[in-house]
């Protein structure tokens, strides 16, 4: 029985509508409680900002794709190493850190829960093995099922209930958390080197369109009562003029019944908000996109902010990566198609300030975040490592809460991009309360994790304490000091244990849990002879060897969901 008392911090807990109040947080046995005994260990937080532990809704940290990225980038690792200490394992960065390093670095920034958004079901065991080796964090992973043949066939037949049962089975068998859809229809087309270019293009060989896949799976998601909505990477991602496709997708999703809970999370929105009819006429579409979002409530988003640095892009969107490669200037291209399920691609990429496109991409991400009025709709991510590595988050935050920080960066950007950027016209500077929503509360709410992202009684005792005194520090003016505070948390508390102090790992005994959904349908998906036969046809491994067995999750946390089918 361990007790902990965080005394006198300025608490920002948006889910409980606490905005900078000076108060104590009591912790007992890894949970937030009303009060603790006099024997409790005291963390003196006077003059410090206290927030719930950070939640990341979309970060590629584990799995086949990520690891292939690691293998092909020794040039990336050699410039950033992490030395072994008595407490911690050694490792390497930079843009694709090794597993242990990933855990330590997230924890040093006050993060306690991260979501791995992309996992080929066939390679699920690999993802879970890596997640086991990421310490100090709670984790979950989304299987890629937007182009899974069972989904395509059932949706083409119009059999949404059968589709739902298969999806429930897949979530269970891969120990997944949400439905991930990437470039719906495009990945199956990429099997023969093609792609789809609008949400009404036909997917070759399957008599279905991206529109039907997305809306169909959104309905499946509702039937299964999954905590998170479908998690969507839109068609035509990363291509100039793609904002029309994004708008079409958002409009198409209006047809899905909305009962107050978002029906879809569109991820790394920055990459889906490009206007212009070619790279030479590349434009921002943040106004069009944000005005639609401000008028509608059925969706949530994350930024996919670009950082000016050398990073590694990786996505299940194989055709996108190839078209990116064909733009030239890249030295490596990885493609990794997975039978029956998905594809993938990797390209090292350097975002440069003097590139008109990259600089405007940087601007678009921030424009979107600032123009979307409601922070509960738009979350802070870099789509790690696609826009930039996750440990650049403090820099993104600085751009959000300080116009001065934005101006300091913008003035070094490409002149053409500066002219096209809307940032000089935007005066909004986010408050710590809004930052807490964008980095914790909003993400936890969208994920349907009631015990995360808040400090109410009964919540998980995941707390981040930053060296920011809201009474004396004007974060908009002193953005560098605040940025430093977000980079090295004063304390990170995971499950009631202080794991990081002054930006250093002090306790490495918490492996973190892997959350997964046990979706209980009324009649489960029947694995009969027919299904086994199909299995043999579709995959090259046997049905008996396909599931992620229990021992692959070192510390599992089963979340049971009752489905309506």
Partner 1 sequence: MTSEVKSVVCPICGCLCDDLEVTVENNEIVKMKNGCSVCEAKMVHGYKSEERILKPMIRKDGELVPVSMDEAVKKAAKILTDAKYPLLFGWSSSTSEAQRIGVELAEELGSALDNCCSVCHGPSVMATQEIGIPASTLGQIRHRADLIVYWACNPWTSHPRHLERYTSFTDGRFEKSEWKSYMQKMKGDASMKKVQAASKRIIGSTIPAMRPDACALNAPPQTMQKEGRKLIVVDVRKTMTADAADYFIQVQPNKDYEIIEALRCLVGDQELDVDTVGGVKVEYLKDVADAMVNCEFGVIFFGLGLTQSAGRFRNIENAIALTRDLNRKTKFVISPMRGHFNVTGANVVFAWSTGYPYALDFSQGYPQYNPGEFTTIDLLRRGDNDATLVISADPGAHFPKAAVQNMMKHPLITINPDMNAISRLGDVVFPTQWCGIECEGTAYRMDHVPIMLRKVVEPPKGILNDEELLKRILAEVRVIKGKNPDTETKAEVKERNKLAPRIEIKQRKKAKKVEVA
Which lies closer to partner 1 via its Cβ, residue 254 or residue 502? 502
Q: What gap in Å lies between CA 80 and CA 100, rounded to an integer?
A: 14
Bridge-partner residues for 267, per DSSP? none
User: Does 275 participate in binding partner 1 (rule CB under 8 A)?
Assistant: no
Only segment of 140-148, 297-305, 342-350, 463-471 that touches partner 1 (CB under 8 A): 342-350
User: Does 544 participate in binding partner 1 (rule CB under 8 A)?
Assistant: yes
Only segment of 38-46, 51-59, 329-337, 432-440 that touches partner 1 (CB under 8 A): 329-337
Which lies closer to partner 1 via its Cβ, residue 256 or residue 314? 314
Name the token pair of 342.
């998905």
Single out the residue of 80, 153, 162, 201 in contact with partner 1 (rule: CB under 8 A).
80
Pairing mode, strands 504-505 and 497-501: antiparallel
User: Does 209 participate in binding partner 1 (rule CB under 8 A)?
Assistant: no
User: Does 537 participate in binding partner 1 (rule CB under 8 A)?
Assistant: yes
Residue 54 CB, nearest approach to partner 1 (Å): 20
Only segment of 293-301, 366-374, 424-432, 542-550 that touches partner 1 (CB under 8 A): 542-550
Q: Residues 512, 134: contact at Cβ < 8 Å?
A: yes
Build a one-symbol-per-residue string for 373-392: x at contacts with partner 1 by CB under 8 A, - elsewhere.
-------------------x
Single out the residue of 9, 52, 64, 385 in contact with partner 1 (rule: CB under 8 A).
64
CA–chain centroid gap for 535, Å, is 31
Residue 332 CB, nearest approach to partner 1 (Å): 4
| Site for partner 1, residues 410 to 439, rule: CB under 8 A | 412
Residue 442 CB, nearest approach to partner 1 (Å): 25
Residues 6+ apart with CB under 8 A from 58: 115, 117, 231, 267, 268, 302, 304, 381, 383, 384
Q: Residues 234, 249: contact at Cβ < 8 Å?
A: yes
User: Does 554 participate in binding partner 1 (rule CB under 8 A)?
Assistant: no
Q: Report how many residues bind partner 1 under the rule CB under 8 A.
A: 79
Bridge-partner residues for 44, per DSSP? 7
Residues 6+ apart with CB under 8 A from 345: 314, 315, 317, 318, 319, 320, 321, 322, 325, 333, 334, 335, 336
Q: Residues 225, 261: contact at Cβ < 8 Å?
A: no
Only segment of 110-118, 289-297, 332-340, 510-518 that touches partner 1 (CB under 8 A): 332-340
User: Does 170 participate in binding partner 1 (rule CB under 8 A)?
Assistant: no
Bridge-partner residues for 176, per DSSP? none
Alpha helix segments (H runs only) across 109-209: 124-132, 149-157, 160-173, 186-190
Q: Residues 214, 177: contact at Cβ < 8 Å?
A: no
Q: What gap in Å lies between CA 304 and CA 378, rounded to an integer?
A: 10
Single out the residue of 162, 543, 559, 561 in contact with partner 1 (rule: CB under 8 A).
543
Token pair 């690999």: residue = 126
User: Does 1 participate in binding partner 1 (rule CB under 8 A)?
Assistant: no
| Site for partner 1, residues 110 to 139, rule: CB under 8 A | 122-123, 125-126, 129-130, 133
Residue 382 CB, nearest approach to partner 1 (Å): 13
Single out the residue of 283, 335, 418, 478 in contact with partner 1 (rule: CB under 8 A).
335
Build a one-symbol-per-residue string for 498-517: x at contacts with partner 1 by CB under 8 A, - elsewhere.
------x-------------
Only segment of 213-221, 255-263, 302-310, 372-380 that touches partner 1 (CB under 8 A): 302-310
Q: What gap in Å lies between CA 482 and CA 402, rounded to an integer?
A: 10
Single out the residue of 37, 44, 87, 415 in contact with partner 1 (rule: CB under 8 A).
87
Read off the DSSP letter of residue 175. Answer: T
User: Does 84 participate in binding partner 1 (rule CB under 8 A)?
Assistant: yes
Alpha helix segments (H runs only) across 411-491: 415-420, 432-436, 442-447, 479-487
User: Does 258 participate in binding partner 1 (rule CB under 8 A)?
Assistant: no
């Amino acid at each position: 029985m361990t007790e902990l008392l965080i005394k006198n911090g300025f608490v920002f807990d948006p889910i409980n509508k606490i905005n900078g109040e000076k108060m104590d947080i009591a912790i007992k046995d890894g949970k937030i409680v009303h009060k603790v005994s006099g024997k409790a260990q005291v963390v003196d937080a006077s003059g410090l900002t206290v927030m719930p532990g950070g939640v990341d809704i979309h970060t590629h940290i584990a799995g086949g794709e990520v690891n292939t990225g690691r293998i092909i980038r020794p040039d990336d690792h050699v410039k950033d190493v992490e030395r072994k200490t008595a407490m911690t394992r050694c490792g390497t960065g930079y843009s694709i850190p090794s597993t242990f390093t990933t855990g330590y670095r997230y924890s040093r920034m006050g993060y306690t829960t991260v979501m791995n958004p992309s996992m080929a079901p066939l390679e699920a065991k690999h993802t879970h093995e890596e997640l086991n080796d990421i310490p100090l964090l709670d984790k979950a992973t989304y299987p890629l099922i937007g182009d899974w043949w069972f989904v395509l066939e059932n949706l083409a037949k119009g059999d949404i209930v059968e589709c739902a049962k298969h999806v429930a089975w897949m979530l269970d068998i891969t120990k997944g958390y949400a439905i991930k859809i990437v470039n719906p229809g495009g990945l199956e087309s990429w099997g023969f080197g093609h792609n789809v270019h609008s949400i009404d293009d036909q997917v070759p060989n399957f008599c279905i369109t991206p529109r039907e896949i997305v809306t169909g799976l959104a309905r499946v998601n509702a039937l299964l009562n999954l905590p998170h909505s479908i998690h969507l990477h839109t068609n035509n991602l990363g291509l100039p003029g793609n904002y029309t496709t994004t708008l079409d997708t958002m409009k198409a999703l209006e047809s899905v019944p909305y009962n107050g809970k978002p029906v879809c999370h569109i991820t790394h929105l920055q990459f889906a908000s490009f206007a212009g009819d070619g790279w030479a006429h590349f434009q921002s579409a943040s106004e069009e996109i944000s005005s639609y979002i401000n008028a509608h409530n059925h969706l949530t988003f994350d930024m996919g902010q670009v950082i000016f640095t050398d990073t590694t892009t990786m996505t299940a969107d194989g055709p996108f990566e190839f078209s990116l490669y064909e733009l030239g200037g890249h030295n490596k291209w990885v493609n990794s198609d997975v039978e029956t399920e998905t594809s993938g691609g990797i390209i090292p990429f350097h975002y440069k300030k003097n590139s008109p496109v990259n600089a405007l991409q940087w601007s678009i991400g921030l424009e979107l975040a600032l123009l979307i009025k409601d922070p509960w709709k738009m979350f802070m991510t870099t789509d790690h490592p696609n826009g930039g590595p996750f440990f650049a988050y403090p820099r993104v935050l600085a751009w959000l809460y300080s116009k001065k920080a934005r101006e300091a960066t913008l003035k070094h950007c490409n002149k053409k991009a500066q002219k096209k950027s809307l940032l000089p016209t935007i005066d909004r500077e986010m408050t710590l309360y809004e930052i807490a929503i964008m980095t914790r509360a909003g993400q936890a709410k969208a994920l349907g994790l009631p015990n995360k992202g808040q400090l109410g009684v009964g919540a998980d005792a995941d707390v981040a304490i930053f060296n920011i005194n809201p009474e004396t520090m004007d974060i908009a003016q002193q953005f560098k000091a605040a940025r430093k505070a977000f980079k090295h948390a004063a304390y990170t508390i995971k499950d009631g244990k202080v794991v990081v102090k002054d930006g250093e790992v002090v306790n490495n005994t918490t492996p973190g849990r892997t959350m997964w959904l046990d979706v209980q349908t009324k009649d489960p998906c029947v694995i009969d002879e027919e299904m086994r036969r199909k299995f043999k046809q579709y995959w090259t491994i046997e049905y008996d060897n396909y599931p992620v067995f229990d021992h692959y999750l070192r510390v599992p946390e089963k979340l049971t969901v009752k489905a309506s089918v």
